[in-house]
């Protein structure tokens, strides 16, 4: 059922997302006009992949609340998004390699067995306070 939901989410595209430096919040925001994101990067990460929806930011003009994000700002946001994706991919790859290495080391450690060497003499219990006497006796 989880895969069906994931497939359904991939088909749904968000038409517009809102970003506000003043009233936005990246943790609690959902991209709506009532709960905008604080940064364009968070909005793009929320969208997930291209084609990205229309992103509206705080307008600089009097009387307007929202304006479409500038091309330059969108370009910089896409670059930052791509860097984040590369970081996440590298992190996932490293975690997978570390997991495989740990599994391999664990399997090798399971093969190691410790046995008593019969050619050595039996162990003798010696107290540290009597250790010097033990050495003199030998």
pLDDT interval class at 135 (50, 70, 90): confident
Domain boundaries along the sequence of the chain: 14-100
Q: Go through 30-51 and write b for each residue having 16 or more CB atoms within 10 A of its CB, e for each that does not.
A: ebeeeebbbbbbbbbbbbeeee
pLDDT band (50, 70, 90) for residue 61: confident
Residue 14: the pLDDT is: 60
pLDDT of residue 65 exceeding 60: yes
Is the predicted pLDDT of residue 80 greater than 90, yes or no?
yes
Q: What is the pLDDT of residues 100-114, one digit of tens each?
A: 999 999 999 999 998
Q: Which of these CATH numbers, 2.40.340.10, 1.10.1740.10, 3.30.1910.20, 2.30.30.100, describes 14-100?
A: 3.30.1910.20
Higher pLDDT, 131 or 105: 105
Provide the whole-model pTM.
Answer: 0.61
Quick one: pLDDT at residue 98? Answer: 96
Average pLDDT in the chain: 84
pLDDT digits (tens, 9 = 90+) for 2-50: 444 444 444 444 688 999 888 888 888 888 888 899 999 899 988 888 8
- How many whole angstroms from its chain centre is CA 49? 17
Return d(Cα 121, Cα 135) in angstroms, integer.
16
């Amino acid at each position: 059922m989880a895969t069906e939901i994931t497939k359904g989410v991939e088909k749904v595209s968000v038409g517009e997302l809102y970003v506000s430096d003043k009233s936005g919040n990246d943790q609690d925001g959902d991209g709506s006009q009532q709960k905008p994101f604080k940064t364009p990067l968070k909005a793009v990460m929320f969208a997930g992949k291209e084609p990205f929806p229309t992103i509206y930011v705080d307008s600089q003009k009097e009387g307007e609340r929202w304006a479409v994000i500038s091309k330059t700002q969108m370009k910089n946001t896409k670059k930052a998004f791509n860097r984040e994706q590369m970081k996440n991919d590298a992190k996932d790859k490293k975690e997978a390699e570390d997991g495989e290495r740990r599994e391999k080391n664990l399997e090798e450690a399971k093969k190691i067995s410790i046995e008593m060497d019969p050619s050595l003499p039996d162990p003798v219990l010696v107290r540290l306070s009597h250790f010097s006497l033990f050495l003199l006796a030998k």
